């Protein structure tokens, strides 16, 4: 049986160069990955059901507070555990 995170791992590795601008976890099941401008989220990935759902809708994080951004960044380790497991 295929690893449910394979597609996500592929996507994630494409974004390796911009991991320091990742915006992770608006909820316990969502991972948001920023694009190269650091302003728009490129992908929305739902980990809850073990399937990588990519969404091209863009969200402007400049509208988000610093506290929210700190919250997202604190969850980067959890994201990396998912993709490296």
Cβ(59)–Cβ(40) below 8 Å:
yes
CB-CB contact of 55 with 46 (8 Å): no
Are 32 and 72 within 8 A, CB to CB? yes
Name which of 23, 54, 52 is nearest 40 in CA terms.
Answer: 23
pLDDT of residue 62: 44
Residue 26 confidence (pLDDT): 39
List the chain domain ranges.
Answer: 6-84
What integer pLDDT is reported at residue 21 of this predicted model? 38
Quick one: pLDDT at residue 77? Answer: 55
Per-residue pLDDT of the chain (85 residues; tens, 9 = 90+): 555 445 545 555 544 433 333 444 334 344 555 555 544 444 444 444 443 333 433 344 444 555 555 555 555 556 656 655 5
Rounded to whole angstroms, the Cα distance separating 69 from 48 reads: 21
């Amino acid at each position: 049986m295929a690893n449910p995170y394979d597609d996500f791992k592929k996507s994630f590795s494409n974004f390796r160069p911009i991991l320091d601008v990742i915006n992770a976890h608006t909820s316990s099941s969502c991972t948001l990955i920023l694009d190269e401008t650091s302003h728009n989220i490129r992908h929305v990935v739902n980990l809850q059901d073990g399937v990588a759902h990519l969404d091209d809708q863009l969200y402007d994080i400049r509208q988000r507070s610093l506290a929210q951004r700190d919250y997202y960044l604190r969850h980067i380790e959890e994201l990396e555990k998912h993709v490296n497991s």
